[in-house]
Structure 1
Amino acid sequence: MRMTVGFVAALTGALVLSGCSDPDDVGPPVDGPSLAAAIDTDAVIGDLAQLQRIADDNGGNRAAGTPGYDASVDYVVDQLEQSGFDVDTPEFAVDLFHATTQTLQVSGRQVPVKALTYSPPTPAGGLTARLVPVPSDDTPGCEDTDYGGLDVAGAVVLVDRGACPFAQKQRVAAERGAAAILVADNVDGDLTGGTLGSKDDARIPTGAVGKADGATLRQGGDATLTLDTTVESVKSRNVIAQTRTGASDNVVMVGAHLDSVPEGPGVNDDGSGVATLLEAARQLGATPNVTNAVRFAFWGAEEVGLDGSTAYVDGLDDAARADIAMYLNFDMVGSHNAGYFVYDGDDSDRVGEGPGPEGSAGIERTFDAILLQLGVSPDGTDFDGRSDYGPFIAAGIPAGGLFTGAEEVKTPVQAGKWGGEAGAGFDPNYHSAQDTLANVDRTALGVNAEAVGYGIGHYAQSIDGPNGVPAAGDARSGARAGTGK
């Protein structure tokens, strides 16, 4: 177990009561310091080892719609039930994407390409058109003005990755009349893909190319792109469990996605978030002495478009949505070249999307303070829509959480603050077969696991104060009026 001096001093000396069967037989109040101190990083690593084993036994991944995912659900359910929780595994529909032929030839040269999830297929025999690079700026291909008067009608356009979702880049290109779009990676390393979000958002064939190839392709030329793709409808499951104690109209909901990409075991993305929440659930127990109920969610099909979390939020009626005081998201908390990021709830960084719903700024301040107490100076990270907080903030529910970085590049300033390698991706193994237990940064995982425990325990006791969120009733209804669903 890893404890900091600050947390040990703050600890009241009471042990967290876990797995108690009688709701009237509760222990001392659980708060941020006590739950943080109870988190055992070795137990988190043990869960990661089990998720790695599941992937190894099931073709190397735990992707939605596969036996590896089903086995992951069974493991999480078993751990929660052993801790006394009643567990639900609600089903939802998911569209599974399959790509067979994926080829790109530009001016006679073969270039590796990977179809983005939900990309429409090219015509039989492929699509041949001129390749038109779009100038790169702070929002590459994200806005109509990025095209600067370029004639891209009928062309294959090339844009750089970053700053906005792939679906937005594809939509802008389609509206300009492009026949297809290629997105060049913004970091060195193996070719990584992405998703257009849903089959309904998919408009033109969309593929990804590597950073070096993207730079070469900026010379233009004639491109022949072939993407043979199909979409299959199947069922998947979320895993949901809630404490039996605490106010049910002030639910502190916490989540991590349980599926991996098909290319690898997903031990950091997002086994690290799953294992951290499992340990928090074990230490909290099903009947803790808390003011507010805590609801744990392990989402399915995040990697194919946030399908599990979207289905969950869409399936709640107004009253059930109003009962959720906040949503805390933990997607990748042990990256190999780790950064320490907190979701930018107040948009103080002025990067990408705007602020989160009212209360998100307070959540950001809380996690900033926790990490500072743990000896880490965090940076902000944008609510860019790439993880399961998306459906919650769309519904006006305040959100926040922690993140150690994906394919983005660590700057020299960040390397000076946190260590690691400047100029390399925070997770060089992102969406690959190398996202294994061996490549998890255990120091970052330990810090974040403790911070997650502190945040859950803190808000389980109180959502009030300057770093709180709107209270149940008129204050909450007023804050959410006019938002989302």
Structure 2
Amino acid sequence: MYADIIAYIDNGAPYTIILGAHYDHIGYEVYDITKNQYLIYNGADDNASGVACLLELARHLSTGFLPQHNYIIAFWGSEEIGLYGSTYFCQKILINLKVPPIILYINYDMVGSLGYKKNELILYGSATGKNIKKYIPRKYDTVKIIKLPVSFSFSDHTCFYKNKIPYLYFTTGLPKVYHTIKDEFRLINFNGILFTLKLTEYILETIEIESIRYNKACSLNYIITGVKLLMSK
């Protein structure tokens, strides 16, 4: 799973938004080689949930829905072994893309466990671009939105921010089944994935994209603030 899968929705708009989710997981390990038995890690939450959300969102956007932006839809390979897919894109492809300016990257990584602790969704990156925060509601429908200024460098948003592109990173957090063979579809909150999709569409519809600019002021203080917020839960 090393290849990236990229699509472009050209609405003739002045700005472009990238939406991405990694499609790889950690694979399998040998359980009993003499019996040809293996432990399979299917990765329903990490990250089939993000892929499912993005596929459905891409289907909506491809019909001409929300035409005020152009969209790059990206399914990243090799996230689990070092963010290789998105990093390659940023290093080799991004600078040569002949599309209107890319203003924002939106990441989906583990969005299938809404409500496993509390009825809330975590949205990282609210401080990575000027004016982003005001377009993110404190609550949407019945779900509380936890806005954290930045995220650690453990998902595909990382290389975009290094290239001065602000990001939003949707996640429902790390459930107990994270990176275990128990991460199966039976535990997925499908309505929660749908909620993430609808919240994304709300943000895409309301955001004044021309007002979003890279914010280089995201320092360690922002990261520490985010950690304190998570640890307080």
Same fold (TM over 0.5): yes
Is 1:374 aligned to residue 141 of structure 2? yes
Structure 1 contact 259–301 (Cα < 8 Å) conserved = yes
Q: 1:266 to 1:364 in 2, by over 3 A?
A: farther
Q: 1:308 to 1:253 in 2, by over 3 A?
A: same
Is 1:434 aligned to residue 182 of structure 2? yes
Q: 1:380 to 1:443 in 2, by over 3 A?
A: same
Structure 1 contact 239–298 (Cα < 8 Å) conserved = yes
| Equivalent of residue 267 in structure 1, options 44, 55, 60 | 44
Secondary structure of 1:438's match? Answer: helix
Is 1:294 aligned to residue 71 of structure 2? yes
Secondary structure of 2:53's match? Answer: helix
Secondary structure of 1:316's match? Answer: helix
Q: Deviations over 1:194-238 (max 9, x none)?
A: xxxxxxxxxxxxxxxxxxxxxxxxxxxxxxxxxxxxxxxxxx211
The residue aligned with 2:22 is 257
The residue aligned with 2:158 is 390
Structure 1 contact 245–289 (Cα < 8 Å) conserved = no
Where do residues 121-160 of structure 1 align in structure 2 (5 Å cutoff)?
A: none
Secondary structure of 2:79's match? Answer: coil
1:283 and 1:397 map into 2 onto residues whose CA distance is: 24
Higher relative contact order (CA 8 A, sep 6+): 2
Deviation at 1:428, TM superposition (A): 1.1
2:178 and 2:126 map into 1 onto residues whose CA distance is: 25
Is 1:332 aligned to residue 75 of structure 2? no
The residue aligned with 2:171 is 403
Secondary structure of 1:256's match? Answer: strand
Is 1:446 aligned to residue 194 of structure 2? yes
Deviation at 1:318, TM superposition (A): 4.2
1:328 and 1:317 map into 2 onto residues whose CA distance is: 15
The residue aligned with 2:132 is 363
Q: Deviations over 1:449-483 (max 9, x none)?
A: 22123233444xx414xxx413xxxxx7xx78xxx
Q: Deviations over 1:334-362 (max 9, x none)?
A: 1262541111432xxxxxxxxx2x33xx3
| Equivalent of residue 212 in structure 2, options 464, 469, 475 | 469
Amino acid in structure 1 at the alignment position of 2:108: F
2:193 and 2:159 map into 1 onto residues whose CA distance is: 26
2:142 and 2:60 map into 1 onto residues whose CA distance is: 23
Deviation at 1:402, TM superposition (A): 1.5
Structure 1 contact 241–295 (Cα < 8 Å) conserved = yes
1:401 and 1:458 map into 2 onto residues whose CA distance is: 17
Q: 1:393 to 1:439 in 2, by over 3 A?
A: same
1:245 and 1:393 map into 2 onto residues whose CA distance is: 25
Q: 1:240 to 1:458 in 2, by over 3 A?
A: farther
The residue aligned with 1:306 is 83
Q: 1:439 to 1:313 in 2, by over 3 A?
A: same
Is 1:241 aligned to residue 3 of structure 2? no
Deviation at 1:291, TM superposition (A): 2.2
Amino acid in structure 2 at the alignment position of 1:405: G
Deviation at 1:255, TM superposition (A): 0.6
Amino acid in structure 2 at the alignment position of 1:378: I
Deviation at 1:365, TM superposition (A): 3.6
Q: Quick check: which has more Rg, 1 or 2?
A: 1
1:376 and 1:288 map into 2 onto residues whose CA distance is: 24
The residue aligned with 2:223 is none
Structure 1: segments with no counterpart, 5+ residues: 1-63, 65-235, 347-355, 407-426, 471-475, 481-485
Q: TM-score, normalization: structure 1?
A: 0.38
Deviation at 1:296, TM superposition (A): 0.8
1:443 and 1:463 map into 2 onto residues whose CA distance is: 28
Amino acid in structure 2 at the alignment position of 1:331: D
1:447 and 1:289 map into 2 onto residues whose CA distance is: 17
Where do residues 197-212 of structure 1 align in structure 2 (5 Å cutoff)?
A: none
| Equivalent of residue 455 in structure 1, options 203, 209, 218 | 203
Q: 1:344 to 1:325 in 2, by over 3 A?
A: closer
Q: 1:345 to 1:364 in 2, by over 3 A?
A: same
2:93 and 2:23 map into 1 onto residues whose CA distance is: 21
Pairwise CA RMSD? 2.5
| Equivalent of residue 92 in structure 2, options 298, 315, 332 | 315
Deviation at 1:319, TM superposition (A): 6.4
1:317 and 1:452 map into 2 onto residues whose CA distance is: 23
Q: 1:299 to 1:456 in 2, by over 3 A?
A: farther
Q: Deviations over 1:298-318 (max 9, x none)?
A: 110111111000000101364
Q: Which has the higher strand share?
A: 2
Q: Deviations over 1:223-254 (max 9, x none)?
A: xxxxxxxxxxxxx211111112132x511111
Amino acid in structure 2 at the alignment position of 1:363: I
Is 1:281 aligned to residue 58 of structure 2? yes
Deviation at 1:385, TM superposition (A): 0.7
Amino acid in structure 1 at the alignment position of 2:122: F
Q: TM-score, normalization: structure 2?
A: 0.76
Structure 2: segments with no counterpart, 5+ residues: 29-40, 217-233
